[in-house]
């Protein structure tokens, strides 16, 4: 029987290959077991550092917003180095070894980093680490560059070799898959959280509007339509009885959209209701709201109209803060009521004025926000205030004219995403 002699070096290389294969399988199992990004990256890079017997390893993720590479994971003997790299070190494409790899999407094996002209010494200077030899591998997914992985300084030899490069590339292919899956999961979780927050904000916002969009008090009937461009919006309206026998009607439009506008809208309505029950004139209510809004976040302001109508005589007093004109439908005509108005609330300290007017039997008022006439069609043309007035004149005798206006705006902008909220309030005086 012939004896087969196997060289010891060959046996060792086989054992190492088996161990490396085992590590790749363990990494694959780790990737399949969790979608937690931070946990996953730490586990995978610890495996890489161990199997390649390296002093340190790191992952720099590509931030598309800043067009920079940012340290996400950095493992070495000094735990503080990771924090330093995360807070103080970023690289542009083409800067340093990692930047060159990010730009070319090709791996690099650097035997002597200190004498390589591409080497960026800033990270070493910040941490006190000395980079001698390193491998940098691009991490790419279906959407392009994800980042760059690096392994630094083999412990038992002078520099990394081609086998190390192949091994690290194999690991990094799995790292790229893990990063992409984790980011997709993170985005999915974030979208779901955002959806839930919007649902909560929308519910909160609706709870601050009147329970019914129609109010009947004495000879006054007020009705409203409120449509948000997004799930939540910045338009608001309210019906209130500040004094017995009188009806207060408020309409406003907060700058901005989405969550911040919705939450601020809730605060404004709360402040409005408190002020309206403690002062008897519309201009004083706007003065108080303006003072409150001076404390608002920078850039937040409100256009508004507040009127108080006598439910039996039709006499009313009105104050406006930078809000669009309202329409007065008499028995003969449609008047555009572009009264003197102060600036929007929250912009400057000012005392608002008011005007006294009187409705006659059958008169109607239409208050609106600018989303009604700012609506655009597919060609990009704006509806415009003058066109809106013409529509109202053509349908002068419609029973629920604000419904007709709303449908007209929807038809005009069909096929185009709503850019602004729409609110309409109609006030009728039976006389």
Say yes or no to pLDDT of 245 above 60: yes
> Could you give the C-alpha distances from 16 to 20, 54, 109, 150, in angstroms and in order?
6, 15, 20, 21
Single out the residue of 314, 306, 305 nearest to residue 245, CA to CA. Answer: 314
Question: Which domain covers residue 299, as residue numbers?
Answer: 210-429
Show which of 189, 221, 239 is a domain's final residue. Answer: 189
148 and 245: one domain?
A: no
Query: Model confidence over 190-232: pLDDT tens digits?
Result: 888 877 777 777 777 777 788 899 999 999 999 999 988 776 6
pTM of the model: 0.63
196 within domain boundaries: no
136 and 217: one domain?
A: no
Say yes or no to pLDDT of 24 above 60: no
168 and 221: one domain?
A: no
Q: What CATH number does the domain containing 106 carry?
A: 3.30.450.40
Give 30's pLDDT tier (boundaries 50, 70, 90).
low
Mean pLDDT of the chain: 86
1 within domain boundaries: no
405 and 321: one domain?
A: yes
139 and 215: one domain?
A: no
Q: What CATH number does the domain containing 272 carry?
A: 3.60.40.10
Show which of 123, 157, 189 is a domain's final residue. Answer: 189
């Amino acid at each position: 029987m012939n004896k087969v002699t196997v060289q010891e070096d060959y046996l060792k290389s086989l054992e190492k290959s088996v161990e490396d294969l085992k590590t790749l399988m363990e990494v694959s199992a780790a990737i399949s077991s969790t979608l937690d990004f931070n946990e996953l990256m730490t586990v995978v890079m610890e495996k890489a550092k161990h199997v390649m017997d390296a002093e340190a390893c790191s992952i720099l993720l590509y931030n598309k917003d800043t067009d920079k590479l940012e340290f996400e994971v950095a493992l070495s003997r000094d735990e503080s180095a990771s924090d330093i790299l995360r807070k103080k070190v970023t690289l542009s494409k083409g800067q340093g070894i990692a930047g060159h790899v990010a730009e070319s999407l090709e791996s690099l094996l650097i035997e002597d980093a200190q004498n390589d002209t591409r080497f960026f010494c800033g990270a070493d200077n910040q941490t006190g680490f000395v980079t001698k030899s390193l491998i940098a591998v691009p991490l790419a997914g279906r959407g392009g560059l994800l980042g760059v992985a690096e392994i630094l300084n083999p412990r038992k030899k002078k520099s990394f070799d081609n086998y190390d490069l192949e091994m690290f590339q194999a690991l990094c292919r799995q790292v790229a898959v893990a990063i992409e899956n984790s980011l997709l999961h993170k985005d999915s979780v974030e979208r779901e959280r955002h959806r839930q927050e919007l649902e909560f904000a929308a519910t909160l916002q609706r709870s601050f509007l009147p329970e019914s969009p129609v109010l009947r008090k004495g000879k006054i009937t007020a009705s409203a339509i409120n449509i948000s461009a997004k799930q939540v919006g910045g338009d608001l309206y309210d019906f209130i009885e500040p004094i017995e026998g009188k009806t207060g009607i408020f309409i406003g439009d907060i700058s901005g959209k989405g969550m911040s506008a919705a939450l601020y809208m809730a605060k404004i309505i709360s402040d409005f209701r408190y002020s309206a029950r403690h002062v008897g004139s519309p201009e004083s209510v706007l003065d108080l709201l303006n003072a409150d809004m001076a404390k608002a976040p920078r850039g937040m302001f409100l256009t508004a109209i507040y009127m108080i109508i006598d439910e039996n005589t039709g006499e009313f007093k009105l104050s406006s803060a930078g809000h669009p004109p309202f329409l007065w439908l008499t028995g003969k005509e449609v008047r555009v009521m572009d009264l003197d108005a102060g600036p929007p609330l929250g912009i400057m300290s000012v005392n608002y004025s008011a005007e006294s007017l009187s409705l006659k039997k059958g008169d109607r008022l239409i208050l609106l926000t600018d989303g009604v006439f700012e609506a655009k069609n597919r060609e990009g043309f704006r509806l415009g205030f003058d066109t809106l007035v013409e529509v109202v004149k053509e349908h002068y005798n419609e029973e629920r004219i604000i419904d007709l206006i709303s449908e007209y705006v929807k038809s005009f902008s069909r096929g185009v995403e709503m850019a602004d909220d729409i609110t309409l309030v109609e006030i009728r005086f039976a006389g």
